[in-house]
Amino acid sequence: MARAGYVLAFDFGEARIGVAGGSEETGIATPLATVAGGSKDQVFGAVGQLIAEWQPARLVVGLPSHLDGTEHELTRLARTFGNRLNGRFGLPVAFVDERLTSVEAEGLLSEAQTFGKRRKAALDQVAAMRILQAWFDQPEAAP
């Protein structure tokens, strides 16, 4: 049985997908993993393992857009990813505006003095953490 209120969030990218998790009860997001490349079956297999491990009640996907809010190709791909998550795993999926989350993630990693290979490995996870934190802070604002 799924843990009530546990949420997994995804920072979708074509090369890597950052994953974060957290409980609605505490409202605190934590970086968890990065799913890197491979075929769609490999990506969804890795996501399936995370879902089996964490047993979330819902999923959140970051929705990229231009700074003015207009959508672009990656917006469409992120929506498709979220819809496939819903179809494969039967969990509700919310979409969150992810503008500037990578910039925020870069800033947090700089503050933590994380550089080089460690920074690259953590960037997508920290961006997913910011996406989830935005959802925790304003779940009713999600598109």
Domain ranges of the chain: 6-141
Whole-number pLDDT of residue 80: 96
**pLDDT tens digit string along 48-74?**
999 999 999 999 999 988 777 777 788
Alpha-carbon gap, residue 126 to 4, rounded angstroms:
23
Whole-number pLDDT of residue 79: 95
Whole-number pLDDT of residue 59: 97
> Which residues, listed in sequence order, are joined to residue 16 by a DSSP beta bridge?
36
Name the CATH code of domain 6-141 (choices 3.20.20.190, 3.40.50.620, 3.30.420.140, 1.10.579.10).
Answer: 3.30.420.140
Alpha-carbon gap, residue 140 to 35, rounded angstroms:
28
Alpha-carbon gap, residue 49 to 74, rounded angstroms:
25
